Chains A and B, each alone.
Chain A
């Protein structure tokens, strides 16, 4: 039993946050312009090599020594890190040994996830004839869970196929870390269509919440 990844989409179909745990097949970094800034540092577009010191956006001035991901500006030309060599990331993030790739870049993957979720949500609504929510689907290798807030945010989590429903977990991430460190955080611009919601506290709190899931294990 394990948890693979978490995506958060806003009501404008954009992926505003991504985090992963025991993921053996990683997506390739997003192409420039493919994804919003401040979604996930390691999967943001890479640019030509240079120094990696200046990955501090003017607004989010947390110390880089903490070793946690903080918001990365998409238009910061000096950002250089590859996902496999990233020294940062929250402790729970799986190590760089995966090596295998899905063959998709992160922005493509996020769009596919969103497309699947949206299509299934509409299909379930249509089939039920009432406002019934799509809850999850499962394949031989993983299970995808959806929790949609009234404000249109979609929390999508990928887990082991045998996992129980993670709706309550997703709800608690929404009610806990998300409200605390995103909604109440004046430095995060929600609904901006320009930036993601990634910040250090949110990432750390989400990490704690996921690791407290009973069947979470390495």
Chain B
């Protein structure tokens, strides 16, 4: 059980928030994260088209050998991505909680510009309280 990181990707595929928790995964440069987020945004769109049966969502869980990426796509196109260890049963609830914090601390903050990088201390503090104690 470990949380490695949190990303928020805006509806255009830009990384607007990135946080690492702990040292479970190496810390990359800001630029590398930007590129990865852009890639993920593209892949997410393609995966919904590859469905062999009926309409499909985009990728929801992407697994490696020791960690996974959990993707929450909101109805407004914002993506929340939580990097966790493979066994993390409450991850969906956690993503919903992060979304809720985002709606509270970011969208209600008059000093945040929508679709732009999130530099909101309130969001940082609440996300830390939610995720880093685990």
Contacts and interface: CB of A to CB of B under 8 A. Distances in A.
Whether the complex brings A and B within 8 Å at their CB atoms is answered yes
Interface of A: 4-5, 20, 22-25, 102-104, 109, 112-113, 115-116, 119-120, 122-124, 126-129, 132-142, 144, 158
Contact of B53 (A103, A126, A129, A142): A142
Given A102-B52, A141-B51, A142-B50, 9 more contacts: A20-B52, A24-B53, A25-B51, A25-B53, A116-B43, A127-B25, A127-B64, A137-B62, A158-B50
Contacts of A23: 52-53
Secondary structure dominating the interface of B: loop
Nearest to B58: A139
Given A24-B53, A25-B52, A134 B46 contact: no
Secondary structure dominating the interface of A: mixed
Indicate the size class of the contact surface on chain B.
20 to 34
24 contacts: A20-B52, A23-B52, A25-B52, A102-B50, A103-B49, A112-B46, A116-B47, A119-B43, A120-B43, A123-B36, A127-B28, A127-B67, A134-B62, A134-B64, A137-B61, A138-B59, A139-B47, A139-B48, A139-B51, A139-B60, A142-B52, A142-B56, A144-B50, A158-B50
Contacts, number: 111
A166 to B, nearest CB: 12
Contacts of B59: 137-139
A158 B56 CA distance: 13
A126 B32 contact: yes
8 residue pairs, one from A and one from B, having the closest CB atoms: A141-B56, A129-B26, A4-B52, A140-B57, A124-B64, A137-B62, A24-B53, A137-B59
